[in-house]
Amino acid sequence: MTMLKTETIATINPATEAVIERIAYMDGRAVSEKLDLAVAAGKQWGASALDERSAVLRAVAAQLRREAETLAITAVTEMGKPIVQARAEIEKCAWSLEYFASESGAMLSPQNAPSNAARSYVAFRPLGTVLAIMPWNFPYWQVFRAAAPALMAGNPMLLKHAWNTTRCGLEIERIFTDAGAPAGLFGTLLATNDEIDALIADPRIAAVTLTGSERAGVAVASAAGAALKKCVLELGGSDAFVVLEDADLAKAAKTAVTARFQNNGQSCIAAKRFIVVDGVYDRFMEAFVELAGAQKQGNPREEDVVLGPVARGDLLATLHEQVSATVTRGATLALGGHPIDRQGYYYEPTIVGDVTPGMTMFDQEVFGPAAAVVRARDAEHAIDLANASSYGLGFSIWTADTATAEKLAERVEAGAVFVNGMVASDPRLPFGGIKKSGYGRELSAFGIHEFANIQTVWLG
């Protein structure tokens, strides 16, 4: 959402629709000072030993855990995440920091590359300040998922967070400061979307990473291309959740509810298109509807609530338009299908059956608590339907025959394939997509190398 520089940022509680606080944007001088501070920090940080970097990341992880409850409440208040899930998000951030603090030595060690030289090898050097443009749906994890490997590679980072989770962004900067991180190593910029192109073009920025919408990805990729700067894009998804005839239907249906409705249905890697072979379609649908309808929805600060509001009013309106358009085209409304008449941006847990290609919920990414269920003739047809998407982020297949699943995975057009499990990000595994889900990888050794100067050293 574009906001004028003359305005302040007004964050809104999606559960109450009340303004939480108003925060002033930074002026040009303040932004420039942050950039200078990051460059200065980067010179020392990039020259530091890996054990020094590891110590800082471990200290940040410890600080996150000390303040987990306060940080979790901030996320709940700004974007409506259920409190139990918010705590889990903080813990995952701490774990990721500790993982890269422990494993980066092996990932960044020079790799021998024999050639006609007396000795030749590949070294991984710092690249420079990384600009991270991050979304609101996982306001801590998305940031630390990018920051942990980039920092261990020797780069400082500047964060431009989503406007509706501005306080989360400021809290992350404070956590680094309170943990004793070098000044300027991690900073938050309070800038408008209109200023992003200028930030990317600034010579003090070496690279950019974005998690966001397809539209934002096009804009950032264009700006990075014009400035000849490296970028990684983690964009939207419309993940397929394929259920074959020999699947454990009880387990598949239970996992399907979490895969679709976790984080109020607002996740790029959430399962969104449930493609079920005809022989078990009705049984799966019955179990899926029953379990989805049993979820407790309400105030996200209550411990037993698993489904809160969507994050903004415009997102609520878009979600309802997508559901309504799909049903109008002939799909079957099996559960929910309407905004809830109460204060806050609440939408009923919704399941729409008999969805086919060409319908809105099949073709578009649905960001909210609504699932599309698709009927397939057989396994081959299910894979064809899964691939009939402009997105290619994650894919989940449920079957008792894992050997067949691995063969089918060879045909899947996605960055990740999970067999009998829910697609999730994990620091130990590369994360990212293909097609309109973006390019580049986060996490694992692949992620840490994205923002490194992969330098050939040749000795005669």
Average pLDDT taken over every residue of the chain: 97
Catalytic residue selected from 78, 89, 103, 234: 234
DSSP 135-165: -SSSTTHHHHHHHHHHHHTT--EEEEE-GGG
- 227: buried, middle or exposed (CB in 10 Å: 19+, 13-18, 0-12)? middle
Residue 268 appears among annotated catalytic residues = yes
The mean per-residue pLDDT over the stretch 232-239 comes to 98
Question: What residue type is assigned to position 280 of the chain?
Answer: V
Looking at residue 2, its pLDDT comes to 40
The pTM for the full model equals 0.97
Give the architecture-level CATH label for domain 239-427.
Answer: 3-Layer(aba) Sandwich (3.40)
78 near 13, Cβ under 8 Å? Answer: yes
| CA dist., res. 175 & res. 321, Å (int) | 39
Looking at residue 167, its pLDDT comes to 98
Using alpha carbons only, what angle is made at residue 427 by residues 432 and 413, rounded to the nearest 5 degrees? 25
**Residue range 363-411, pLDDT digits in tens:** 999 999 999 999 999 999 999 999 999 999 999 999 999 999 999 999 9
Catalytic residue selected from 268, 348, 365, 442: 268
DSSP 389-416: SSEESEEEEE-S-HHHHHHHHTT--SSE
Looking at residue 179, its pLDDT comes to 98
| CA dist., res. 157 & res. 130, Å (int) | 5
pLDDT at 424 over 80: yes
The mean per-residue pLDDT over the stretch 97-111 comes to 98
Q: Residue 317: helix, strand or coil by DSSP?
A: helix
The mean per-residue pLDDT over the stretch 323-333 comes to 98
Looking at residue 1, its pLDDT comes to 34
Using alpha carbons only, what angle is made at residue 266 by residues 220 and 390, rounded to the nearest 5 degrees? 55
41 near 135, Cβ under 8 Å? Answer: no
CATH number of 9-235+437-459: 3.40.605.10
Q: Where in the chain is the domain with CATH 3.40.605.10?
A: 9-235+437-459
The mean per-residue pLDDT over the stretch 44-69 comes to 98
Looking at residue 450, its pLDDT comes to 98
Quick one: residue 440, left, alpha or beta (phi over 0 = left, psi -120 to 50 = alpha)?
left
| CA dist., res. 142 & res. 410, Å (int) | 28
| Rg (alpha carbons) of the chain, rounded to whole number | 22
Residue 234 appears among annotated catalytic residues = yes
Q: Where in the chain is the domain with CATH 3.40.309.10?
A: 239-427
Structure tokens at 322: 């997508």
**Residue range 116-174, pLDDT digits in tens:** 999 999 999 999 999 999 999 999 999 999 999 999 999 999 999 999 999 999 999 99
**Beta-bridge mates of residue 333:** 352
Looking at residue 6, its pLDDT comes to 54
241 near 273, Cβ under 8 Å? Answer: yes
The interaxial angle of helices 141-152 and 50-66, nearest 10 deg, is: 160
